[in-house]
Chain A
Amino acid sequence: MKRAVAPHLGTIKMRLTCPFCGERDHQEFTYRGDASAKRPAIENDSIEDHRAYVFDRANPDGDHRELWNHTSGCRMHVVVTRNTTTHKVTGCEPVGPWAKTMKARS
């Protein structure tokens, strides 16, 4: 899918460009934190793996891949790549069951 956006608009934004809805204020979204924290598989029963998933954070100064949920819009989760020092956003990708469909269409 292609969207007609001016060159910098997808890149210099704390307005997030939801892949489903377009560019919106970030307050329409709910922050869900570090997208690199991956839940262990459902069969995995290791306390250490779960502890790391729940509590350990890299908390980088610089680019951060993070989850936002467009709660006041389409309610889809998106992975935003954002610089934590400048707040510059360089990516906003869909996740979830719809991610594949989106990619296929684009």
Chain B
Amino acid sequence: MTRYSAWSILKNALKGNKDWTPAWRKPEPKSSYDVIIIGGGGHGLSTAFYLASQHGITNVAVIEKGYLGSGNIGRNTTIVRSNYRLTPNSQFYEKSMELWRELSHNLNYNVMFSPRGVLNLAHTPGQMDTYAERGNQMRLMGVKSELLDRDQVARLNPGLDVSGSARFPIEGGLLQPDAGNARHDAVAWGYARAADQLGVDILENTEVTGFLKEGDRIVGVETNRGEIRAAKTGVAVAGSTSRVMKLAGVEKLPIESTVLQAFVSESIKPIIPTVTTFGAGHLYVSQSDKGGLVFGGNIDYYNSYAQRGNLPVWEEVTSELVAMFPNFARLRLLRSWGGIMDMSMDGSPIITAGPLDGMYLNAGWCYGGFKATPASGWCFAHTIANDKPHALNKDFTLDRFKEGRMIDETGRGPTPWYH
């Protein structure tokens, strides 16, 4: 297997690029594995990579219904940040940041992690206080943060409407200077290639149609390519969590699936340097390396498994974007698409052993799954390998709803479509 480098590129170029080999194998499924991960998205692939690289468990299969990375890993707005308020979230996402910084190097694949800064705009003094509270939490957790006044914000993003006559005038903002974004597909491909090199079988176009049980214990899966047995079965299927878990007999979970639309404009020369969010609504925007503005806002507020949304969200998102950047009005929307979000009841994830014996569940990512990819895999692999959670995911249990230990960043309560 070729190690990627500038040198390998030159060497191959001289041979007309005829010698490149597949980035990952396309193996036939074996009849059994030590661990099966259902879901060949970012979280499933990173789990497999960390099982192999951190826990020495290499007899692993990742089972993906479609093509690798066909879910939310390839449909998001690529933001990577750890600017959270609540301790379980801030420490978990900061672990993710730590892994992001070294990810290209560790995977030998350029995931184009770009720490260009994430700026949250504030529009009232009260909101400035809320951001200060969050910024201070970040500082106390060892995360970089800066509270910016209006002038500093204007210098950072010259196109912003910082006038006092704006409907929601900008007061300032909270900056996480070393957060940013990354190239989403590359994350899936990089993890896949690295896991494959460590011996993980990635089984694309393999659909789980049922679970194998011995008594109450899950001992593998039925697929369209036959039965595959495993001592441990992990489920990391994001928006499809409820339907996959139903195959195992778990009828209800604290999760609802909704569609989140994302948008990209035509390519233009660099126009905004940071990831920027609007504080008087819900909108986040950054510019890709190709030059497209990548942005999104609220979910379409109804349960959905269709990877497409509706017009009201288009109108809301664009009106917020042009309110923020009135110079964007003549730029043009190129493409929009939808991903299925696994919205949990408190807006925070679930990474846990169970709910059945032999089974492990990774779900409830809401809008935030992309940035979590490394830490999610890291913690899920730990949980699977040791049959108990890592310190970083010990709070992300299913039982927290029963016990009253919700991790509710927004405070909106058990209305998943508001998280």
Contact = CB atoms under 8 A, between A and B. Distances in A.
* Binding partners A and B: yes
Contact of A57 (B243, B252, B301, B310): B252
Interface residues of B, number: 24
Interface in A48-76: 48, 51-52, 54-61, 64, 66
Interface string B233-252: 00000000011000000011
A61 B302 contact: no
Contacts of B304: 84-85, 87
Interface stretch (B254-262, B319-327, B382-390): B254-262
Interface stretch (A26-34, A38-46, A96-104): A26-34
Contacts of B8: none
Interface residues of A, number: 27
Contacts of A12: none
Contacts of A82: 302
Contacts of B415: 33
A58 B243 CA distance: 9
Nearest to A52: B252
A34 B213 CA distance: 30
A14 B301 CA distance: 12
Given A55-B345, A57-B255, A85 B401 contact: no
A14 B252 contact: no
A60 B301 contact: no
A59 B312 contact: no
A89 to B, nearest CB: 11
B314 to A, nearest CB: 11
B305 A58 contact: no
Contact of A59 (B253, B306, B402, B414): B253
Contacts of A56: 252-254
Interface of B: 242-243, 251-257, 301-306, 310, 312, 345, 401-402, 414-417
10 contacts: A26-B312, A33-B416, A48-B402, A51-B401, A57-B416, A59-B252, A59-B253, A60-B243, A61-B243, A66-B302
